[in-house]
Chain A
């Protein structure tokens, strides 16, 4: 259970963005309870180019970045930042 005001831990894997790819490491981050996905992404500004195009995947579900301010992160969440890519 998340208790408001306490810190919680999320797992982060940053693959970077299209113009700034990165080698992902599994990192546990402590973040304030109640933090939104958008706030969390903004906190990564040193690691990713926020103006670039990338996917955000929370617990295996791709989140539209337009919705990121509505998503409240939960203790134990896994967040992946992945460059847009595709093809078969």
Chain B
């Protein structure tokens, strides 16, 4: 096989065994690779009654099909498991060089099942793979763990590991890839922690062969040059994702104070401009084969938090840990970011639960006795301390570590109304009341209300490329307007397909759905030239559709229905408070109308939201339809 390694590494931690099997050809034909094959493996291994933190859950690492080649910005590893936070499907993704290294070592996928009794890590070096004792790195943070592993194994290893957050089964613990790239959402780190799997360390010395190297190389060069020219890619290089803070705040769409407001004063302190101008930004980092290098590396050189150094902060982090809590002193937000990365917990969920707790405190649902200290809006030091309490499940941190849905159940009263979650996942920082495409995308996302499964930012029409894409999808660029509900279903479904393809092949979504230089057409060509397996653009997009549909079916099998495709209560019931979005809401009626259009486009049943037999069969998923039928989960 070209581009593929053709190998799946199996690990059973209960039995202490590892073995390699050929990647089945029919699996490649059916789901292509990366996120697609991951989804099928999860479907096969994990059943509705599987305890996400028990030995029967699996965690699957999938390198992109084109990772390890020279394809630009193609270094993503998809991690798929059943989420302990939501009890449903979870796909999360990390950057760095891990995907490349997996391929160089000779593996497309690594599937880990079972649980070890004692802490272990996996050491993979080409054909040699072993399960090793991890007692030396257990209880160590992510940076320290990596330092020790590098001392033992060499500086050129690449890793995916957990910090204390994962060890302590924080429900939103992340897997940290190559130290700084967080596969953060939904608690994949807690799944590793439950398996007593501290890390995977890998070194590969092989290479990935492509079928038509000259033509592939020429195409890659063209795509890379297009990325360099792309304004959005340039802005990601200059400011990182944090560059968007200013524009979003100026348009009153920056969710602050636990989504009570859409704007914050002193926003400069949370902006990418501030990180650059005030000397926090030390360097920009690119993942494997990246032509964008959006990732930041920041340090604090003076003051109370001097000595802090971390990857980030990204837009989501600045909004969740900063705006969401009202904290606008840059240093405390960077410090909180550093601790989240060291302990391996998701900055979005962490900021969300702290913002929620601050609102509880303001309303008297939580008291100083509950918290151990004052928890007032804007107190950055309190945010920093709360991060530590969550990671170590100290005091109230033990409850917040369960995620905002369970915490609201625990503290009761009306606190569920300001718990900004749906399907059990804290919503990422998008003002969906004023961006209807995002609202729909978040409501139907199989992992919960989150932007990293579908990123329909094109609906804002921020660049000529975005407007052209909206015109391509809907027939008219006038639909590049986030306040419209019309045509949102079309825009969302296209982005779902594209995003899934992006992650099947290993590309970064910034290259395909923020910048648009990598697109389905050239992805199909790159795939065909690299593998020798000819695929058209529409055939490739069909693999994206299949993948998303299978992820949806995982949730259908687990019992989810249309009633679960919702958004957080506040956003569905309280209007946006200020600025141009003032008065807008994600009302039940508005969402319902978009859901009807969305299900219709997919060929899913309107009443249940379930894929129909005809739809599944037309996608070549007859086996899935049969199992759903057996379980009474096919629409009648």
> A residues engaging B (CB < 8 A)?
13, 15-16, 18, 21-24, 53, 55, 57, 59-62, 80, 82-88
Contacts and interface: CB of A to CB of B under 8 A. Distances in A.
A88 B273 contact: no
A34 to B, nearest CB: 24
Contacts of A62: 247, 251
Given A84-B463, A88-B315, A88-B316, A21 B251 contact: no
A60 B580 contact: yes
Contacts of B294: 87
A13 B252 CA distance: 15
Interface in B329-380: none
A84 B248 CA distance: 11
Contacts of A55: 247, 462
A82 B235 CA distance: 12
Nearest to A79: B250
A88 B268 contact: no
A86 B238 CA distance: 11
Given A21-B277, A55-B247, A88 B235 contact: no
Given A21-B277, A80-B250, 16 more contacts: A13-B250, A15-B246, A21-B238, A21-B273, A22-B273, A57-B247, A60-B251, A62-B247, A62-B251, A82-B247, A83-B243, A85-B242, A85-B243, A86-B462, A87-B241, A88-B451
A83 B235 contact: yes
A16 B244 contact: no
A84 B231 contact: yes
A84 B462 CA distance: 8
A53 B515 CA distance: 15
B250 A60 contact: yes
Contacts of B315: 87-88
A79 to B, nearest CB: 10
B235 to A, nearest CB: 4
Contacts of A18: 231, 234-235, 238
A15 B430 contact: no
* Band of interface residues on B: 35 or more
Contact of B457 (A82, A83, A86): A86
Interface of B: 231-232, 234-236, 238-244, 246-247, 250-252, 268, 271-274, 276-277, 294, 314-316, 428-430, 451-452, 455, 457, 462-463, 510, 514, 579-580
A-B CB proximity, top 7 nearest = A85-B243, A87-B241, A60-B579, A80-B250, A85-B235, A57-B250, A60-B580
26 contacts: A15-B246, A18-B235, A18-B238, A21-B273, A21-B276, A21-B277, A24-B268, A59-B580, A60-B251, A60-B579, A61-B251, A80-B246, A84-B462, A84-B463, A85-B235, A85-B241, A85-B243, A85-B244, A86-B247, A86-B514, A87-B240, A87-B294, A87-B314, A87-B315, A87-B510, A88-B430
A87 B244 contact: yes
Nearest to A61: B580
Given A87-B236, A87-B240, A87-B241, A53 B231 contact: yes
Given A18-B238, A22-B273, A85 B316 contact: no
Secondary structure class of chain B's binding surface, majority of residues = helix
A61 B242 CA distance: 20
B232 A23 contact: no
A86 B235 contact: yes
Contact of B268 (A23, A85, A86): A23
Contacts of B243: 83, 85-87
Contacts of B579: 60
Contacts of A24: 246, 268, 273
Given A15-B273, A16-B273, A88-B316, A82 B246 contact: yes
B236 A86 contact: yes
Nearest to A80: B250
Contacts of B428: 88
B366 to A, nearest CB: 30
A87 B247 CA distance: 12
Nearest to B461: A64
A88 B460 CA distance: 14
A61 B434 CA distance: 12
Nearest to B267: A24
B241 A86 contact: yes
B250 A85 contact: no
B239 A83 contact: yes
Contacts of A22: 273
B360 to A, nearest CB: 27
A21 B452 CA distance: 28
A84 to B, nearest CB: 5
A23 B273 contact: yes
Contacts of B277: 21, 23
A85 B247 contact: yes
Contacts of A87: 236, 240-241, 243-244, 294, 314-315, 510, 514
Contacts of B240: 87
B604 to A, nearest CB: 26
A18 B240 CA distance: 12
Nearest to A64: B461
B580 A85 contact: no
